[in-house]
Amino acid sequence: MSLGRAEVQQAESLRRLAENFPRPLRFLAVGGLGLLTDLSVFTLIPDHGSHPIASRVVSLALATFVTWRLNRAVTFDPSGRVQRHEAARYAAVTVVAQGVSFAVFTGLVLTILARHPQFALVAGAAVGALFSYLGQFFFAFAPARKASDAPALAGRRGESAL
């Protein structure tokens, strides 16, 4: 399905509007939408008899997809990488950040927040967000180095370019 001219113009207008805000604020806004997605899906699934941990796996996967697309579009500058390479880097950061988030959630939901799993979800998301932002900023969406930069970088470290 292709976007029409009006939709493309609207998307560009939203992107320009988002660029007026500092990157951390954009990241938090995207994260907020991801958290809303996560929390909504998580809350709806248990109504169908699923265990909270299984429900969280599904809700987390959907929220991760939402934030990947939005962060790529409005939060971070283009990295200059092929999208599949950038996606692989994003996936690596996400595994770490979501792993931390999931560990915090699981620890809390199995102990002190068993009766309030949504609070455990929010606590895990907050801790995971810090890991996510730093990993995305410094790794996933970091500008790609040009091949012409390799000899200069190696020379500064006293290494061979090969």
**80-89 residues labelled b (16+ CB within 10 A) or e (exposed):** ebeeeebeeb
8 Å CB contact between 42 and 62: no
In percent, the amount of the chain with pLDDT more than 70 equals 86
Q: Where are the domains of the chain?
A: 13-143
pLDDT digits (tens, 9 = 90+) for 56-65: 888 888 988 8
Dump pLDDT digits (tens) for 122-145. 899 889 988 999 999 999 999 988
Q: What is the pTM of this model?
A: 0.67
Residue 7 — pLDDT band, cuts 50, 70, 90?
confident
Average pLDDT over residues 19-46: 90
Do residues 101 and 124 make contact, with C-beta atoms less than 8 angstroms apart?
yes
Does residue 26 register a pLDDT over 50?
yes
% of the chain beyond a pLDDT of 90: 36
- Distance of CA 88 to CAs 50, 93, 139, Å? 30, 9, 11
CA dihedral (76, 81, 85, 89) positive or negative: negative
In whole angstroms, give the CA distance from residue 37 to residue 55.
13
For residue 158, what pLDDT is reported? 46
pLDDT at 89 over 60: yes
What's residue 155's pLDDT? 47
